[in-house]
Each structure stands twice: as C-alpha cells, then as structure tokens.
C-alpha cells in the first residue's frame, strides 16, 4: 500500500494506459481522482476502483480547457484536501499523414491535448504542492518524443514538448520538494496501438499484419510491453522509492527503436 492516504490525479483515466494507472494506484491505497472527457468511461473505472476498496472521484474534464482543469483540481482539493501526485496521461494520436497534408486544426488539436493540457494540469497543482513542499508529477510522453516519427509529426512534436516541459518544471519546482519526471512508453499492447497500426497500414497501403510485424521486429524483447508495465513505472516514479529522481525521461519500450 505505497500510496495509502495519498491523493493522485490521473488524466485520460477512462481507458487504456490511464485506466491501468488509475487501478494500479487504487490497489496501492490511493484516493484516485479520475479525469477524462467521457463521463461514462470514468464511471466504469470508478466502479472498478470501489471494488478494490479505493475511494475515487470522477470529474469529466477536457484538459484543453483551462477552466475545466481548474474546476477538476478544485474538486479534488475540496474532497481530499490535497494532491500528492499528478499523472498527465491525457492524449490523442493525432493524424497519420505526411506533415504537408496535416491541417492547422489537426496540428492545434494534437498540441492542445497532449502538451497544453499537461501544462494546465501541472500549473493548477503546482501551487498546493509548493505550499506543502512535496509532490510528484509524472508526464506520459512517448518514444516518439526522442525519434523522428514519419506520418505522425504533430504527435511526435507534442511528445518531444512533454519531455522539455518535464525538464523545465523539474528545475523550477525542485526547490519546493516537487519531483517531475516523464515516462516514455513505446509500442504498448492494447487498443491504442491497434488503432495506430491500422492507421499506418491505411496510410502506407500495407497489410495490418505486416505493419504489426514490423513494429514488433524493432523490439529487442520480442514483444510489446503491457499497460501494466507502464503503470508500474509510473507508480515507482510517484513513490518515495524514487525520491532522488527528477527531470528524468524513463523509457518503457522493450528497447524499441523506430527504423
């Protein structure tokens, strides 16, 4: 029960990696604040958390709207009194096409969700954390934040930006005892990568099975990491076991490198 009595905010908590992170914190005793656009999905995860004996709070939130982020954090503080950790997981895949074909709207939406949303959330929890002189923020970036990623330029740019945001916040907030780190998942097994593979197959006019095989071929472990493995890394970085770590970008990808 590494987080017993602690309050953790998880954005994008309605499905995929976010859901797994929220449940992992719940199993470790945390009071989990679930944020996401779909109230129905958040309600399902909240029900799962209650079955674990956890005390969740679900707040429908569009992280691209700063007012909604402010209201979500206020609700968390109102119910639990504090925020011990924030996991910025909310994100979208963005378009799969050549950069020259990406529309201004697609670019703006991807950056607003993946990067600005994390900034808004971090800004809202920073004040309460600074007052207490403790806290942890974990930003979910991607291996796409360290490589060139053809056909996914807006997504890659947003994930590179998240790493820069993490380093900068770590430098600013470190004197207040607040740690900020990034987790960089690679090709993670689940619905999200299935959608990405299908999009690549369509854009490249290639069979889905061939694209999947190409992705796995580039993973030295020979398999896709799981959502649970990503969640465990997030919990480690948010825990006292990582008390000496800040400004780090930790990759969970099985050694994946895009060719």
The catalytic residue positions are 155
Cα distances (Å, whole numbers) of residue 45 to 23, 42, 245: 8, 5, 30
**Are 191 and 16 spatial neighbours (Cβ–Cβ below 8 Å)?**
yes
188 exposed, middle or buried (CB, 10 Å; 0-12, 13-18, 19+)?
buried
Contacts of 192 (CB under 8 A, 6+ apart): 16, 17, 93
State the Cα–Cα distance between residues 56 and 50, nearest whole angstrom: 7
Q: Which residues partner with 136 through β-bridges?
A: 85, 179
The arrangement of strands across the sheet holding 135-140 comes to 57-60, 31-36, 7-11, 85-88, 135-140, 178-185, 249-252
Given 3-state DSSP classes, what are the helix, strand and coil percentages for the chain, each rounded to the nearest 5? 55, 15, 30
Contacts of 32 (CB under 8 A, 6+ apart): 7, 8, 9, 10, 13, 22, 25, 26, 49, 54, 55, 56, 57
């Amino acid at each position: 029960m590494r987080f017993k009595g602690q309050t953790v905010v998880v954005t994008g908590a309605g499905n995929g990696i976010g859901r797994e992170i929220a449940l992992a914190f719940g199993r470790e005793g945390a009071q989990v604040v679930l944020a996401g656009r779909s109230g129905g999905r958040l309600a399902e995860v909240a029900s799962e958390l209650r079955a674990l004996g956890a005390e969740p709070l679900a707040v429908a939130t569009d992280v691209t709207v700063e007012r909604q982020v402010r209201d979500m954090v206020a609700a968390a503080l109102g119910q639990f009194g504090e925020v011990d950790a924030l996991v910025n997981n909310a994100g979208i895949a963005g378009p799969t096409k050549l950069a020259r074909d990406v529309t201004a709207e697609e670019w703006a939406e991807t950056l607003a969700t993946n990067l600005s949303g994390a900034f808004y959330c971090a800004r809202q929890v920073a004040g309460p954390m600074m007052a207490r002189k403790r806290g942890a923020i974990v930003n979910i970036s991607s291996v796409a934040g360290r490589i060139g990623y053809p056909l996914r330029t807006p997504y890659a740019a947003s994930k590179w930006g998240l790493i820069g945001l993490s380093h900068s916040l770590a430098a600013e907030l470190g004197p207040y005892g607040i740690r900020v780190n990034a987790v960089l998942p690679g090709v993670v097994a689940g619905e999200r990568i299935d959608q990405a593979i299908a999009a690549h197959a369509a854009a490249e006019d290639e069979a889905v099975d061939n694209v999947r095989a190409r992705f796995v071929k580039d993973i030295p472990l020979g398999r896709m990491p799981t959502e649970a493995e990503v969640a465990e890394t997030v919990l480690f970085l948010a825990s006292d076991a990582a008390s000496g770590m800040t400004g780090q970008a930790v990759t969970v990808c099985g050694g994946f490198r895009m060719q």
